[in-house]
């Protein structure tokens, strides 16, 4: 492993509940038709796709207005308190990966400007060599485009990249891109859903994620010191 591609919402930051509340805000009285589980399924999906699903008969202008309303509701509820939304262990994990020489990138269904604003507010922007938003590729998750673009930006082969995410679409994207995948269960996806979506392994705690990533980094270091071992990655 030479690079790790992280999802943002539900993986590095505890934002899924805010996304659900923001969706309820734009749905108005129609939100009563949905429970939180229904709305949580939209976490990690491109906003255009969400609008089409929730407002199938809306005109282009109305859908754009709903998107802007959602962004404003989400931003006002996250940016001021972004530092508190960063999951425990994230800062330490990113520092350790950096020390191991492992490149990192964000791959998100947010537009790039929104992702950058949230990362800056949460004070976790600097470790990432690239931030790849939905607006940078023609197809978003679960297509492989965003992951492959991130790998290219990091000058890493897809087979040497690992995707970390909390949603089925994160796992499907990684598999489609030919990458290893780690599903984390503190976001929107549970163990079984992530496994059936292609997760190579599952992390239920920050400690488990850190252990898996550092084991992969150690494998990379040993390979870099002349070993010709063809053993499977320890997280496979």
Q: Which residues pair with 165 in a beta bridge?
A: 183
Residue 122 is given by DSSP the state: T
- Within 10 Å of residue 217's Cβ, how many Cβ atoms? 20
192 assigned to active site: no
φ/ψ of 209, rounded to 5, equals -65, -45
In this structure, what is the dihedral angle of CA atoms 39, 45, 48, 50, given to the nearest 10 degrees? -10
Q: Tell me which of 9, 145, 169, 170 is the catalytic residue.
A: 9
SS3 103: strand
Separation between Cα atoms, residue 219 and residue 213, nearest integer Å = 10
* Of residues 186, 191, 185, 184, the one with CA closest to residue 213: 184
Residues in the chain: 236
7 assigned to active site: yes
Q: Tell me which of 7, 166, 169, 170 is the catalytic residue.
A: 7
Separation between Cα atoms, residue 181 and residue 170, nearest integer Å = 8
Residue 58 is given by DSSP the state: -
Tokens 């400007």, residue? Answer: 113
Q: Which residues pair with 220 in a beta bridge?
A: none
* Of residues 231, 216, 222, the one with CA closest to residue 103: 216
φ/ψ of 221, rounded to 5, equals -65, -45
The residues that are catalytic are: 7, 9
């Amino acid at each position: 492993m030479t690079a790790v591609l992280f999802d943002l919402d539900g993986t590095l930051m505890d934002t899924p509940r805010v996304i659900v509340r923001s969706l309820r805000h734009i749905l108005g009285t129609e939100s009563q038709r949905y429970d939180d589980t229904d709305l949580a399924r939209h976490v990690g999906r491109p906003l255009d796709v969400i609008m089409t699903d929730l407002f199938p008969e809306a005109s282009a202008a109305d859908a754009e207005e709903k998107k802007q309303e959602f962004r404003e509701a989400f931003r006002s509820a996250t940016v001021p308190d972004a530092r508190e939304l960063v999951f425990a262990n994230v800062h330490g994990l990113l520092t350790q990966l950096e020390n191991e020489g492992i490149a990192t990138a964000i791959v998100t269904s947010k537009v790039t400007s929104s992702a950058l604003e949230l990362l800056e507010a949460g004070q976790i922007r600097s470790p990432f060599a690239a931030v790849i938003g939905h607006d940078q590729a023609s197809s978003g998750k679960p297509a492989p485009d965003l992951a492959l673009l991130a790998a290219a930006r990091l000058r890493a082969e897809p087979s040497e990249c690992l995707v970390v995410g909390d949603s089925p679409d994160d796992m499907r994207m990684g598999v489609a891109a030919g990458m290893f995948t780690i599903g984390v269960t503190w976001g929107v996806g549970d163990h079984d859903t992530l496994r059936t979506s292609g997760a190579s392994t599952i992390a239920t705690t920050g400690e488990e994620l850190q252990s898996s990533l550092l084991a992969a980094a150690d494998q990379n270091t040993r390979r870099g010191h002349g070993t010709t071992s063809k053993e499977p990655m320890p997280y496979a």
